């Protein structure tokens, strides 16, 4: 395949860049007389004239500079780069972006989850890991985290989870008690909370963390064969975390430490990169595998389905304008391309709705028209029209309805029947938990993570972090549930956490 970047004369990260002029103008390109003095009537101490259109424009634009921040993942940063596929995976997917030798321009955005704009980069929190690939078949977004799992498996619980991690409605303060109240009544959270409390719970920087698609996705090859796939983005800088003490110190010294680190490393020419690896699971295997692979609270062990390296991506260009290119960037797991589709993961299916819905609220109905979100290397040929901030439009002769006999675009062209996402399902419509497979339970995998994956030092870090966080729970009933939660993960871990909490509380009492 040819290099995607050759299909456009302009670098993706420069789209929308205006040349710098010699003199100031208003937004209509009219030269302005002053940026220091309003037009007043009756001398310098007179009233400001309403017909000074420039001062009116300047203040009105300033009053509207802020848009609603993201409800989740509000604080973040990002950069542009390139994905290169080095291995042949055409037997699994027909997606042009994943064909060997292809180079695709891309955008990455990293973020915290619970923190608002202005919150410290080093709070203990998962990190969003969002990737937008500007492919020849349209934009492909892989919107995941720096952990391979998540707290809940059904999107109906997502608003409640986020509310529990943010602030109390009365005091406006964050509260450990409500976090543990939610977690202990949602046992599927145990796997993610174990990750969160471990040594990877606070990354040293965005460059020093892995990324994951987290969900299971679907690949389709040229013959229509289907496979399940999980994405892993392995940091080539290594994976390093911060201790709670280091994170607190950095938060006080530089709340933007991670944003600054990424920007400055790229400015120095130290371009961060990640190895792109996948686990491919034969379609039929999902039906009888010991874990439900569509449950995002579970991982698929590498021993059963090894990771395969297929390429790497490198970030080498900082945004030219942070607001236009990062704050207005709109990602969605519903942005798929032929050969890559979603799966029957309940969290994933609800995200496909929720992400574009958020963008329409934050950015407007035509958010996809913004340069950072526009498909630069594929033709956009839809029947959508009008709405606020409409930028692109159809030729005057093209009809705005379908079907038509006026030469307008026709659905079903340029697509194979196999490109339609599909999977088998049967049975009545129900409200129930995901199907349990032979090894499925909520505490098994976090118990394995503690007892078989972590070494002694990592286990001690986990115990200390849990005890420090649980120790702030004020409600004794919730505290006991939290301690039982860790008993369920692993009896030894629960015992150690109980002992550490008691010791910490005893030490606090002596210091009063």
* Catalytic (active-site) positions: 73, 145
Distance CA 259, CA 298 (A): 30
CB 410 within 8 A of CB 46: no
Can you list the positions of beta strands (E) in 380-438? none
Dig out the tokens for 287 from the structure: 């039906």
CB 323 within 8 A of CB 330: no
SS3 37: coil
Inter-axis angle of helices 176-184 and 456-470, nearest 10? 110
Distance CA 256, CA 254 (A): 5
Contacts of 450 (CB under 8 A, 6+ apart): 194, 459, 462, 489, 490, 493
Query: Would you give the DSSP letter of residue 457?
Result: H
CB count, 10 Å around CB of 309? 13
Distance CA 278, CA 232 (A): 6
Distance CA 109, CA 206 (A): 10
Distance CA 162, CA 213 (A): 20
Q: How long a stretch of residues is the chain? A: 512
Cα–Cα–Cα angle for 509, 510, 511, nearest 5°?
90
Does the annotation place 485 within a ligand binding site?
A: no
Q: 202-226: string of b/e by CB count within 10 Å (b at 16+)?
A: bbbbbbbbbbbbbbbbbbbbeeeeb
Dig out the tokens for 10 from the structure: 């302009």
Can you list the positions of beta strands (E) in 115-199? 127-135, 138-145
Binding-site residue positions for heme: 355
Binding-site residue positions: 355
């Amino acid at each position: 395949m040819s290099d995607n970047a050759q299909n456009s004369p302009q670098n993706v990260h420069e789209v929308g860049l205006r040349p710098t002029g010699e003199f100031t103008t208003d937004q209509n390109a009219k030269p302005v007389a002053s940026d220091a003095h309003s037009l007043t009537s009756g001398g310098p101490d007179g009233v400001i004239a309403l017909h000074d259109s420039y001062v009116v424009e300047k203040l009105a634009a300033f009053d509207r500079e802020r848009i609603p921040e993201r409800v989740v993942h509000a604080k973040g940063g990002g950069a542009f780069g390139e994905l290169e596929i080095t291995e042949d995976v055409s037997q699994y997917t027909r997606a042009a972006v994943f064909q060997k030798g292809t180079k695709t321009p891309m955008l990455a955005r990293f973020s915290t989850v619970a923190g608002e704009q202005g919150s410290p980069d080093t709070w203990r929190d998962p990190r969003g890991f969002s990737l937008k690939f500007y492919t020849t078949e349209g934009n492909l977004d892989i919107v995941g985290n720096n952990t391979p799992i998540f707290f809940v498996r059904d999107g109906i619980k997502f608003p409640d989870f986020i509310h529990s991690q943010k602030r109390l409605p009365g005091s406006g303060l964050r509260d450990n008690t409500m976090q543990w109240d939610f977690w202990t009544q949602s046992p599927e959270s145990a796997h993610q909370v174990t990750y969160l409390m471990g040594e990877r719970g606070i990354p040293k920087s965005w460059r020093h963390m892995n990324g994951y698609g987290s969900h299971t996705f679907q690949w389709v090859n040229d013959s229509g064969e289907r496979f399940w796939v999980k994405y892993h983005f392995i940091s080539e800088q290594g994976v390093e975390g911060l201790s709670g003490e280091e994170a607190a110190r950095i938060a006080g010294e530089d709340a933007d430490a991670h944003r600054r680190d990424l920007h400055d490393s790229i400015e120095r020419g130290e371009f961060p990169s990640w190895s792109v690896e996948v686990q491919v699971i034969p379609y039929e295997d999902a039906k009888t595998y010991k874990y439900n692979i569509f449950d995002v609270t579970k991982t698929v062990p590498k021993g059963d389905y090894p990771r395969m390296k297929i390429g790497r991506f490198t970030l080498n260009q900082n945004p030219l304008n942070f607001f236009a290119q990062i704050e207005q960037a709109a990602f969605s797991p519903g942005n798929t391309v032929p050969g890559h589709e979603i799966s029957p993961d309940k969290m994933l299916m609800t995200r496909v709705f929720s992400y574009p819905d958020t963008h329409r609220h934050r950015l407007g109905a035509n958010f996809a028209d913004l340069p950072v979100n526009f498909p630069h290397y594929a033709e956009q040929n839809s029947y959508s029209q009008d709405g606020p901030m409409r930028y692109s439009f159809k030729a005057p002769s093209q009809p705005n309805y379908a079907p038509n006999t006026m030469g307008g675009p026709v659905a079903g062209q340029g697509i194979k029947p196999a490109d339609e996402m599909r999977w088998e399902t049967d049975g009545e419509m129900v409200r129930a938990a995901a199907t349990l497979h032979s090894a499925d339970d909520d505490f098994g995998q976090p118990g394995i993570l503690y007892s078989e994956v972590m070494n002694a030092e990592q286990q001690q870090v986990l115990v200390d972090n849990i005890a420090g966080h649980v120790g702030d729970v004020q409600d004794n009933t919730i505290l006991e549930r939290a301690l039982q939660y860790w008993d369920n993960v692993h009896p030894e871990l629960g015992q150690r956490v109980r002992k550490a909490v008691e010791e910490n509380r005893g030490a606090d009492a002596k210091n009063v």
